[in-house]
Amino acid sequence: MNSARALVTGGAGFLGSHLCDALLGEGYAVVAADNLLTGRLSNLEHLRNESRFEFLEQDVCAAIQCGAVNYVFHFASPASPVDYAAHGIETLRVGSFGTFEALEVAKKHSASFMMASTSECYGDPLEHPQRETYWGHVNPIGPRSVYDEAKRFSEAVTMAYHRYHKVDTRILRIFNTYGPRMQINDGRVIPNFMWQALRGQNLTVYGDGSQTRSFCYVSDEVDGIVRLSKSSEQEPVNIGNPTEFTILDCAKRVVAVSGSASKIQFEPLPQDDPKQRRPDISKARRLLGWEPKVDLETGLKLSLEYFQKAVQERSGALR
């Protein structure tokens, strides 16, 4: 059994909380730090009696009071376009000051470090699919820049701590991940469509729905993260599902899986919405032996019960 201790910043978030579960499963003692801006304690409720788990409610832009750790997973940040638009300054702060703080913890304790980066580093990409070597096409002053540039800066800080302070770092580039524990009203496409489909409302497809995304089920994403944490790769690695869907196709699949009679309603496309997104995962395949296993239809079915419950709870709260 592993006797190591890991810090997960953003541990009360959708992905952070699944990562906490996986690390506990790997034998780590886990401390999750989160200021609950977009994270939720309900995501950690099942760990209430887990003696190897600890929760620290704190903003990771201030010195992180976690004690000695062997691994730092820096996952704190608003992550949905609606959340980071609502909390633009906080998003920039956690990507910059928060990354410094998390790296300082790693440096102080000679811990390994992983930064949760994003496909948003590629912006509205001119190279398709996106390989890790692509530098991206990002509008530095557009509405998405608070997230995109924060994450790009965070990657730069991570590489600097690696180069100047010899911190053992990893950079994970996450592509559209979904599954249970997503907040039903975080504005991302799958929770939005589930909310609408399960309430019999029209599904709001932005633009003509021809823009593409490649959706990774959360168990696949977490498997990739754990494998990356055990590898020695210091440069960015894409972890995402390479099967690409148009958003219109995604809407139809949500309608089918939820058994809804909802129709599609077209609405204006938000500014700078990337037209296409698909990871090239050759590097993850080669270095980590990683391959996503859950296709979109299966993942939607696996998530349905969670979304039904989330819709019931939120509908009740709204009444």
Is residue 176 involved in binding ligand UDP (CB under 6 A)? yes
Number of Cβ within a 10 Å radius of residue 308: 13
Is residue 192 involved in binding ligand UDP (CB under 6 A)? yes
Catalytic residue numbers, as ranges: 147
Residue 54 or 273: the one with the smaller Cβ distance to ligand UDP is 273
Q: Please state the closest distance from residue 193 (CB atom) to ligand UDP, in A.
A: 6
According to CB under 6 A, which one of 25, 27, 67, 270 is a site residue for ligand UDP? 270
Q: Please state the closest distance from residue 243 (CB atom) to ligand UDP, in A.
A: 15
Biggest distance spanned by C-alpha atoms of the chain: 57
Residue 2 — φ and ψ, nearest 5°?
-70, 130
Q: Please state the closest distance from residue 264 (CB atom) to ligand UDP, in A.
A: 10
According to CB under 6 A, which one of 233, 244, 273, 295 is a site residue for ligand UDP? 273
Amino acid identity of 109? H
Q: Please state the closest distance from residue 125 (CB atom) to ligand UDP, in A.
A: 12
Q: Please state the closest distance from residue 91 (CB atom) to ligand UDP, in A.
A: 13
The residue with tokens 């000695």 is 68
Is residue 199 involved in binding ligand UDP (CB under 6 A)? no
Residue 162 or 253: the one with the smaller Cβ distance to ligand UDP is 253
Rounded Cα gap, residues 92 and 149, in angstroms: 8
Pairing of strands 264-267, 203-206: parallel
Nearest in space to 74 (alpha carbons), one of 94, 56, 45: 94
According to CB under 6 A, which one of 30, 60, 72, 189 is a site residue for ligand UDP? 189
Residue 153 or 206: the one with the smaller Cβ distance to ligand UDP is 206
DSSP 3-state of 216: strand
Is residue 276 involved in binding ligand UDP (CB under 6 A)? no
According to CB under 6 A, which one of 100, 206, 226, 252 is a site residue for ligand UDP? 206
According to CB under 6 A, which one of 170, 173, 181, 213 is a site residue for ligand UDP? 213
* Secondary structure E strands in 110-236: 112-118, 169-174, 177-178, 203-206, 212-213, 216-217
Contact set for ligand UDP, span 232-251 (CB under 6 A): 247
Residue 162 or 213: the one with the smaller Cβ distance to ligand UDP is 213
Pairing of strands 112-118, 71-74: parallel
**Are 239 and 281 within 8 A, CB to CB?**
yes
Range 27-30, long-range pairs (CB < 8 A, 24+ positions): 27/1, 27/2, 27/3, 28/2, 28/4, 28/52, 28/71, 29/3, 29/4, 29/5, 29/53, 29/54, 30/5, 30/6, 30/54
Residue 25 or 270: the one with the smaller Cβ distance to ligand UDP is 270
Q: Which residues bind ligand UDP (CB under 6 A)?
A: 80-81, 176, 187-189, 192, 204-206, 211, 213, 247, 270, 273
